[in-house]
Amino acid sequence: MKPFWIYYQKEMLEASRTYKWIWVPAVFLLLGIMQPVSTYYLPEILTMSGEVPPEAAALFTIPSADSVMASTLSQFSTIGLLVLVLAGMNTVAGERATGTAELVLTRTVSTLPMMGAKWAAMMTLMLVSFALGLAGAAYYTHQLIGPLEWGAVASGGLLYAVWLAWIVTLVLPLGAVLRGPAAAFISLGTAAALSLLSGLLPSRFQWSPGRLSSMAAEWMLGAGAGAWAPVIAALLIMLLSIIAAAGLLRRSPLSPQS
C-alpha cells in the first residue's frame, strides 16, 4: 500500500502545480451554472437579439427543472469530457515521452501501485470537478426554475460519474502505447462510438457502458431503468485498463526514440 500513497501524493501535487486543480473544476462549475442561467434568460436573449418577435419569445416556455438538469449532463458530455481527457492524457504518455518513468521504475518492482495511484488521482479530480458542476447546476436550477427532486439528481449524478470514469480511465492503457493526444483522441472516439451504437441498436447493447450517459439523464427525469449491466461493464473496463496499463508500462517504460 505504501508505494500507492507515495505516487498518489505525487500525482495530486503534480495536478495542483500544473493548475489542473483550478481549471478543471472551474470549467465544470461554469458549465453547470451556465445551463440553467441561459435557459432562464433565453426569452430575454431572444428578444434582445431582435431576430425573434417579442410575441414569439413570450410563447417560449421554460422547461421543467429536471429537464434542465438532464441537459446540463449533455454539456458535461461534450466540453466536460473533453477537458477531463485532455487533462489526463499525459499522465502515462507524458512519463514515457519525457523519460521520467526510467528513474522511477528502477526503484519499484510492480507498476500496479503507480498505475492505481494515477487512476485514483484522476478520479479524485474528476469526482470533485463533476460534483461541483452538478451542485452548481442544481442550486441554480432550484433557484431560477423550480424545485428539484434531490434523490433523482444524486442517483443520476452517480450513474453519470461512472460514465465519465470509464472513458477517462481509457487514457491509461492507451497512453502506455501511444502519445498523449492520440490516446485522448482514441478514448473519446471509443466513447462516441459506443454511445452511438447503443443508441442505434438498444436491444443488442443492453450491457454497453455507452448507455450510461443517456440512462443518467433518464434517472434525473425520474424514469430510471435498471443499470447494473452497463455499470458492471464499466467497472470491468476500468479494472482491466489499469492492469493492462501497468503491464504495458513495465514492458516499455521508454518511448521508442530513446
Min dist. Cβ of residue 8 to other proteins (A):
12
Report the residue number, 118 or 211, with the smaller CB distance to other proteins: 118
Report the residue number, 155 or 255, with the smaller CB distance to other proteins: 255
Q: How many CB atoms are closer than 10 A to CB 202?
A: 12
Residues within the interface to other proteins (CB under 8 A): 3, 6, 10, 13-14, 17-20, 22-23, 26-27, 29-30, 33-34, 37, 41, 43-44, 79, 82-83, 86-87, 90, 94, 97-100, 102-109, 140, 143-144, 253, 258
Cβ atoms of 90 and 180 within 8 Å: the answer is: yes
Report the residue number, 19 or 206, with the smaller CB distance to other proteins: 19
Min dist. Cβ of residue 33 to other proteins (A):
6
Residue-wise burial string across 20-53, b where 16 or more C-beta atoms lie within 10 A, e elsewhere: bbeebbebbbebbbebbbebbeebeebbeeeebe
Burial of 142 (0-12, 13-18, 19+ CB in 10 A): middle
CA dist., res. 183 & res. 170, Å (int) = 8
Report the residue number, 90 or 214, with the smaller CB distance to other proteins: 90
CA dist., res. 163 & res. 221, Å (int) = 17
Report the residue number, 41 or 150, with the smaller CB distance to other proteins: 41
Min dist. Cβ of residue 143 to other proteins (A):
7
Min dist. Cβ of residue 20 to other proteins (A):
8
Cβ atoms of 165 and 238 within 8 Å: the answer is: yes
Cell, residue 126:
474528476
Min dist. Cβ of residue 241 to other proteins (A):
21
